Amino acid sequence: MTASITHKMLDRLPNEILHLVCRELATTPDLIHAIKAQESKRHLDQWIALARLCKVSRQMRHVAEPLLYQNYAKPDSASNPVAHYSFRKYLTTVLKRPELLQYVRSFYIGSWRQYADDMSQFAAESRFAACTARVCDTHFSPELHGLYDRYAKTAILGEAWKEALDAGEEVAEIALLMSLTPNLERIEFSMPWLDLQSDTAPQYFWPNLLVESEEWNPSSHFHRLEAVTAHKRNMEPGFNWDVVAGYEIDSLLPFIGLPKLRIFWVEDDDTGLYPTRLERYPLNNQESHLSDLVLIPSSIHPAKLLQILKRCTKLEAFYADFREEQDNFVPNFSWDTIAQALSGSQSTLRELDLSCDLRSQLATEADTEAEFTCISIGSLRKFTSLETLHVLQTTLLGFENMADEVELAVPALPFDEMLPSSLRSLKIDMCTLTIVPYLERLLVKVEEKFPDFGELQLSEIDYRELDVEGYPLDQREALIEGMKVRLERLKEGFIQAGIKWIQ
């Protein structure tokens, strides 16, 4: 069968059928996470096949072209500067044919080269150290420069952005693309790593897109944006791990003010301390409709976290894993203040994951006026829809397993008085044998107070950390063995009650 006959047969098919065929070839956001070479090749082959279909006929192009452009993955140019120019080829295409921008639904922003404020950010010799003049001249063409100049005149990103765009800074080009895509539904950043021991910060431009003005309405432009995620890029072998490196998330936080945003997911910013520049990217005070707020791990400043949580009224999942390096005492920041900030989501929150050890952040001045007196998380019963809880034992019980070091300002409640009746799954990390009496009471009350409870998981149990240091060695061993026996009986009891026990 000749190609012309095949083309004629395709043209006779209804657009609905052609769309189903092309949709099977369309790339998805999953292509950017394709780890195996075979999987990556499959995505590439499908994309090439879809591009070829665009050349078959006008009808096929009408159907296939929107699917061809709906997901775009900008390659990682931090380790391969030549990849920057692949991005520029894409920019050239969509700037020359701006009607294509309406089809874009998701961006994956691969890592880019980043420069701090104290560096010659726009100097040609520092921009692209790894590329040759020939490559630069070829890809930053007068045509592309002219396109930038045309769009820069109407954009609202500021003079510094125009200067950066004129110099060919990739982060300015990223902001340009975001400013021209009116139907984005998802943005995923693979953030470049920074030396977080430095006081300098890089220049970002997209936060200006999230500030309302007479000429710009971010809620209107990003009217379909539902998800923003960010993570660090995978480092190549040979990376200097002695450098304290990560990335700031502050430039991403203004996205939370968008009324349609449902998912904000930041992970793997590594070992950086939270920045002290609270007002560099200020948050607005608009109500947030986030359903999922995930910070694993996070260097977000505690004050900003509480501000964000207070604005959430429909949060369904909150995951937080703070860095242990955040060891400076922050007044009015504790599990209690986090729970208060979450009060707007009391009836909607279903998943709560506080899988972090904020030993000093648990501090409270409370009534004792003892700055570093720690308390447990307290009652969660006001969260009437909570089904899944993941915490550390120290979060539930304060520091009760270290009674010789810290006196509790407030003793921990029994679990049946602490946990909501809606709970289905409880995971407790970094357990000690101190938790045994609490679980014994929970087993007695579980059928009465927790009708839907079905899973209990204990991890990293330390069988030695029990407050028995004041006993002779033989009595100490006997007490520990007795606790182990009680723990085994607990396991049997929960299993008999129809509850899955994971240890």
pLDDT of residue 123: 41
Confidence of residue 124 (pLDDT cuts 50, 70, 90): very low
DSSP code for 411: P
The answer to whether 80 touches 115, Cβ cutoff 8 Å, is no
Q: What percent of the chain has pLDDT over 70?
A: 70
The burial class, CB within 10 Å (0-12 / 13-18 / 19+), for 409 is middle
What is the full DSSP assignment across 11-36? HHS-HHHHHHHHHHHS--GGGGG--S
- pLDDT 10s digits, 174-184: 999 999 999 99
What is the full DSSP assignment across 150-207? HHHTT--S-HHHHHHHHTT-HHHHHHHHHHT-TT--EEEEEEPPEETTSS--B---GG
Per the DSSP assignment, residues forming a β-bridge with 318 are: 293, 352
Q: How far apart are CA 113 and CA 202, in angstroms?
A: 10
More confident residue, 158 or 155: 158
What is the full DSSP assignment across 230-268? EEEPPPPTT--TTS-EE---GGGGGGGG-TT--EEEEE-
Q: Which of 415, 443, 429, 436 is nearest to 480 (CA)?
A: 436
Of 6-15, 26-35, 371-380, 385-394, the least confident: 26-35
The burial class, CB within 10 Å (0-12 / 13-18 / 19+), for 284 is middle
pLDDT of residue 492: 95
Mean residue pLDDT of the chain comes to 77
Confidence of residue 118 (pLDDT cuts 50, 70, 90): very low
Query: How large is the average pLDDT for residues 47-76?
Result: 81
CA quadruple 353, 356, 361, 364: dihedral positive or negative? positive
Neighbours of 433 (CB within 10 A): 22
- pLDDT 10s digits, 277-295: 556 676 777 788 999 999 8
Q: How far apart are CA 197 and CA 206, in angstroms?
A: 24
The answer to whether 386 touches 420, Cβ cutoff 8 Å, is yes
Q: Write b or e for each residue in 100-131: b if 16 or more Cβ atoms lie within 10 A of its Cβ, otherwise e.
A: bbebbbbbbbbbbbbbeeeeebbeeeebbeeb
Rg (CA), the chain: 27
Confidence of residue 28 (pLDDT cuts 50, 70, 90): low
Indicate if the pLDDT at residue 136 is higher than 80.
no
More confident residue, 124 or 18: 18
pLDDT of residue 61: 80
Query: How large is the average pLDDT for residues 136-148?
Result: 69
> What type of residue sits at position 258?
L
Query: How large is the average pLDDT for residues 421-432?
Result: 93
pLDDT of residue 9: 58
Query: How large is the average pLDDT for residues 362-380?
Result: 56
Backbone angles phi, psi at 35, to 5 degrees: -85, -40
pLDDT of residue 184: 94
Q: How many helices (H) and strands (E) does the chain have?
A: 17, 16
pLDDT of residue 404: 37
Indicate if the pLDDT at residue 98 is higher than 70.
yes
Indicate if the pLDDT at residue 339 is higher than 70.
yes
Q: Which of 428, 434, 436 is nearest to 456 (CA)?
A: 428
| Angle, vertex CA 465, rays to CA 464 and CA 471, nearest 5 | 80
- pLDDT 10s digits, 451-492: 999 999 998 787 766 556 667 777 777 877 888 888 899 999
Q: What percent of the chain has pLDDT over 90?
A: 26
Q: How far apart are CA 334 and CA 322, in angstroms?
A: 12
3-state secondary structure of 373: strand
Indicate if the pLDDT at residue 419 is higher than 70.
yes
Confidence of residue 224 (pLDDT cuts 50, 70, 90): very high
Query: How large is the average pLDDT for residues 375-400?
Result: 84
pLDDT of residue 410: 59
Indicate if the pLDDT at residue 323 is higher than 50.
yes
Q: Which residues contact 221 (CB under 8 A, 6 or more apart)?
A: 179, 182, 209
More confident residue, 401 or 461: 461
The answer to whether 418 touches 441, Cβ cutoff 8 Å, is no
